[in-house]
Structure 1
Amino acid sequence: MSDARELPGWTHVYSGKVRDLYVPATTPDDDDDWTGDPLRRSRVVLVVASDRVSAFDHVLEPAIPGKGAVLTALTRWWFDQLPQVPNHLAYPEDDRLAGLAEIPAAVAERAMLCRTLDMFPIECVVRGYLTGSGWKEYQATGAIGGIRLPEGLANGDRLPEPIYTPAWKAPLGEHDENISYERTVELVGETVAEQLRALSLEIFTRASEIAEDRGLILADTKFEFGADRDTGIVTLADEVLTPDSSRYWDGEAYVTGATPELRMASFDKQIVRDWLAANWDQDDSERPPTLPHEIVEQTAERYQALVDRLTLGL
């Protein structure tokens, strides 16, 4: 599944659905400090976004050309828009960067040098609109994640206010599981659980305002956080507000569209989700079908269009 490559001066330690992680190849002078998990022992990690694309918890083929660079550029841009929120980028003046190998040119456009965090096993999902798996759950129960919603809502409707519906982040190869807020308290403690909820809603609200100024609707998104190993501060990590982790809709289409399909004109990987849902029964015993060339091309175009709309105002 992984297309991780060898990088001079760096050791590959992990591959997720989309990202590959590397730590410095050099080890501390004291070998006793370098036992166990190298990612756990390292103070920095090189996060490299691949061009792989996933949907319904499966990595698909082929990859989306240029996707890794798009995700990285957009994540960096969002970090700049959210200066009040601590993030995991390594500071240039940080002493932990001394003596590190340079980021190889082959991955520079899709790599971020980050401080290692103790990650929380929670996907912090925020929904401003009713769609996707939330729509399915609402149809069945009238609620999402245990949060009761008004009766009579339709697919694509704006919610009265954004809601926080966390998920347990499953190991690679397993399905993430929607959980209640009370379950997050059991997993990470009441103080951290409340910080995750408050930060997620705060970031979503600010990002929605920025997107709206550019003619976009941020329908929903998910965040990941970890604890800074030096300070314990809850810190925003991984990709942020990208078309992989979020649903973006065209604002004008939402107002003028006569059907949910026209209203929810997307700038994300909904094209992939829709094609896969129509051509695969999501049987985990079978590999998902190969994406057609036109779906790959359309997805790449939509990703780039989102970057242009957000960062350039086009």
Structure 2
Amino acid sequence: MGQVSTPADSTSQSIPGWRHLYSGKVRDLYASEDPADTRILVVASDRVSAFDFVLSPGIPKKGALLTRLSRWWFAQLDTPNHLAEGEIPDAVADRAMLAQSLEMLPVECVVRGYITGSGWAEYEESGTVCGIPLPAGLNNGDRLPEPLFTPAYKAPMGEHDENITFAQTVELVGEARAAELRDVSLDLYTRAAAIAEEKGLILADTKFEFGTDADGTLRLADEVLTSDSSRYWDAEAWRTGVTPSQRMASFDKQIVRDWLASHWDKQGEPPALPEHIVSRTADRYRELIDRLGA
């Protein structure tokens, strides 16, 4: 987790029957007050983060939109996941998921199908992405010869996540589990990218998180294939666009990042987001859901 510019507890809410456990940059976790109930309530907020800061104001209905998208993707993917049966409290019914309590693995399972972002910056410098050599002559936004599994270490709160090698993943979770994480992640990406392609969308990259249940079963957890954890592009714009901004206009908070990058020197607290940036970002979140039919 990165920096949170306001105390985490200040953004949580009181939910009868549930005890607040923890607040991250954009989600709040609750445990049941019933000691026999081991399920966790995962509540998505409207908070928006960029450059490791929680920004103000939030994006209206963002929590509900991303929860809806996660639920939809969980239903599309025949993979064991963290969802649990039960009734969700009315106060957070549209933006919460009941989840099994898992032993979360300290690895973010990033899969890249296209080269862009930090991967493109590294490629320009060294011809690699996360240390993996790639063919010469690629351009920003190009499809990779094959999807790459580029894991990251999930750093403790207040520290930055760190890209790691597959060998380092083995050191963290063991050889068999590391291979399972890689294989499951690549399979999930391939299947999700095919579904997105049918909707005229490109899934450029995404990250998955996993945990194990009491039986040791690997389960897909947290959010999945949302606008906050994935980079989606319009397929037609990618094919016909001339500039990178035309080809890779994403359905996420890139609008926020771009505005901040041109209006803030990353010193001190970030400025408040103007209404037109908040509104445009919310529209992009909604458009992705509409396009997918989620």
TM-score interval, normalised by the smaller of the two chains: over 0.9
Question: Is 1:289 paired with 2:274?
Answer: no
Residue 108 (structure 2) pairs with residue 123 (structure 1) = yes
Residue 299 (structure 1) aligns with: 281
Structure 1 position 233 matched with structure 2 position 227: no
Q: What runs of 5+ residues in structure 2 fail to find an aligned partner?
A: 1-5
State the partner residue of 2:73: 78
Q: TM-score, with normalisation over the residues of structure 2?
A: 0.94
Instruction: Name the counterpart of 1:53.
Output: 48
The share of aligned pairs that are identical, in percent, is 65
Further displaced range: 231-240 or 144-153: 144-153
Structure 2 match to 1:175: 160
Mapped contact 2:39–2:99 kept (Cα < 8 A): yes
1:28-55 Cα deviation digits (max 9, x unpaired): 5xxxxxxxxxxxxx62100000011112
> Which of 72, 81, 95 is equivalent to 1:87?
81
Query: How do 1:1-314 and structure 2 match up within 5 A?
Result: 1=6, 2=8, 3-28=11-36, 43-83=38-78, 85-91=79-85, 102-229=87-214, 231-283=215-267, 286-311=268-293
3-state secondary structure, aligned to 1:48: strand
Aligned to 1:249, what secondary structure does the other structure show?
Answer: strand
Q: CA shift at 1:105, angstroms? A: 1.4
Unaligned runs of 5+ in 1: 29-41, 93-101
CA RMSD of aligned residues (A): 1.3
CA distance in 1, matches of 2:182, 2:169: 10
4+ residue stretches of structure 1 with deviation over 4 A? none
Q: 1:141 to 1:282 in 2, by over 3 A?
A: farther
Alpha-carbon displacement from aligned partner over 1:256-284 (angstroms, at most 9, x marks no partner): 1011111112111111121222223334x
* TM-superposed deviation, 1:133: 1.0
Shift of 1:172: 2.3
Mapped to 2, the partners of 1:58 and 1:19 lie a distance apart of 14
CA distance in 2, matches of 1:43, 1:8: 16
Contact preservation (8 Å) 2:32, 2:38: no
Question: In structure 1, the residue corresponding to 2:282 is in which secondary structure?
Answer: helix
Count of residue pairs brought into register by the alignment: 286
